[in-house]
């Protein structure tokens, strides 16, 4: 019971430090835990759940986009520097790629990328890309899961063309979409032929995990 309470307290302290964008406190807490938890446990039981809570609280209006973004970046840095061993777990994963499709707003993609990296996933970042190049690259690199981030409605609608072009090429990756148009119209992801939508950056970890498990 005491140990459970301690873990709960540590989780809360970690969450609060992230929301306060207190890098030093985040690192101090992790250094305390490093003797008790393996790197993979830290990612799976501490970092990812914390980012999920932050994402849920953003969707409820209780935390800000700035906190979601900064906490994601802090966790990404941690996973990249303090816990490199956790990445080894994902080396044999299918190819996952993320892109901003015909849109000039990069923040959402950056947040999802940071969250996936924090979850230990290896992700190919295609940056900003147009439909032709995205389709060609996805087919060439045999991408299994494609995450597409947009802010503008025309870009969201363009996902339909990506799906049709991939179908025509005989390659059917799972497409996960996210961004404001999908949040404001909950039917839009289906209309454009995506397989799922994420409301928050942290949804990406659960969605990618479920697609990987289903294909295993």
Partner 1 sequence: MTAMTSLERVLTTLGHQEPDRVPLFLLVTMHGARELGLSLRDYFAHAEYVAEGQLRMARKYQSDCLYALFYAALEVEAWGGEVIFSDDGPANAGEPMIRKPEEIRTLKAPAVESSPVLGRVLEAIRQMRARSEEAMPIIGVVIAPFSLPVMQLGFEQYLTWMYEQPEVVKHLLQINAEFSVAWANAQLDAGATAICYFDPVASTTVVAREQYLDFDHRLSKDVIARIKGPVATHVASGRCMPLLDDFAQTGTLAVAVSIEEDLALMKQKVAGRVSLLGNLNGIEMRRWTEVEAEVAVKAALAAAGPGGGFILADNHGEIPFQVPETTLLAISEAVQRWGRYPLDWVSNER
Q: Which residues of this protein are in contact with partner 1, per CB under 8 A?
A: 21, 58, 61, 63-67, 69-70, 73, 103-107, 110, 152-155, 157, 180-181, 184-185, 187-188, 191
Length of the chain: 216
Decide if 71 contacts 20 (C-beta within 8 A): no
- 90/115 with CB nearer partner 1: 115
Q: How far is the CB of 202 from partner 1 (least distance, A)?
A: 16
User: Token digits for 33?
Assistant: 């835990």
CA distances to 26, 28, 43, 94 from 34, rounded to whole Å, are 12, 10, 11, 29
Q: How far is the CB of 153 from partner 1 (least distance, A)?
A: 5
Q: How far is the CB of 190 from partner 1 (least distance, A)?
A: 12
- 44/125 with CB nearer partner 1: 125
Query: Of 137, 63, 71, which Cα lies nearest the Cα of 99?
Result: 137
Residue where the block lists tokens 């924090």? 118
- 90/158 with CB nearer partner 1: 158
Q: How far is the CB of 146 from partner 1 (least distance, A)?
A: 22
- 100/138 with CB nearer partner 1: 100
- 84/154 with CB nearer partner 1: 154
Helical residues (DSSP H) of the chain, grouped into ranges = 2-19, 23-33, 39-41, 48-59, 65-81, 84-88, 107-118, 131-140, 153-168, 180-184, 188-191, 203-215
């Amino acid at each position: 019971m005491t140990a459970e309470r301690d873990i709960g307290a540590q989780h809360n302290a970690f969450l609060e430090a992230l929301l306060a964008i207190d890098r030093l406190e985040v690192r101090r807490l992790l250094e305390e835990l490093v003797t008790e938890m393996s790197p993979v446990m830290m990612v799976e039981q501490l970092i990812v759940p914390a980012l999920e809570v932050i994402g849920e609280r953003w969707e409820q209006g209780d935390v800000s986009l700035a906190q979601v973004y900064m906490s994601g970046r802090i966790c990404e840095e941690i996973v990249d520097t303090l816990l490199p061993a956790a990445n080894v777990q994902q080396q044999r994963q299918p190819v996952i790629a993320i892109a901003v499709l015909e849109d000039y707003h990069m923040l959402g993609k950056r947040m999802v990328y940071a969250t996936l990296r924090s979850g230990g996933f290896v992700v190919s970042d295609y940056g900003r890309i147009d439909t032709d190049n995205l389709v060609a690259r996805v087919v060439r690199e045999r991408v299994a899961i494609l995450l597409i981030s947009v802010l503008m409605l025309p870009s969201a609608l363009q996902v339909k063309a990506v799906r049709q072009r991939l179908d025509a090429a005989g390659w059917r990756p799972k497409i996960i979409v996210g961004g404001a148009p999908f949040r404001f119209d909950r039917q839009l992801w289906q209309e454009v032929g995506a397989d799922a939508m994420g409301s928050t950056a942290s949804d990406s970890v659960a969605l990618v995990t479920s697609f990987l498990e289903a294909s295993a």
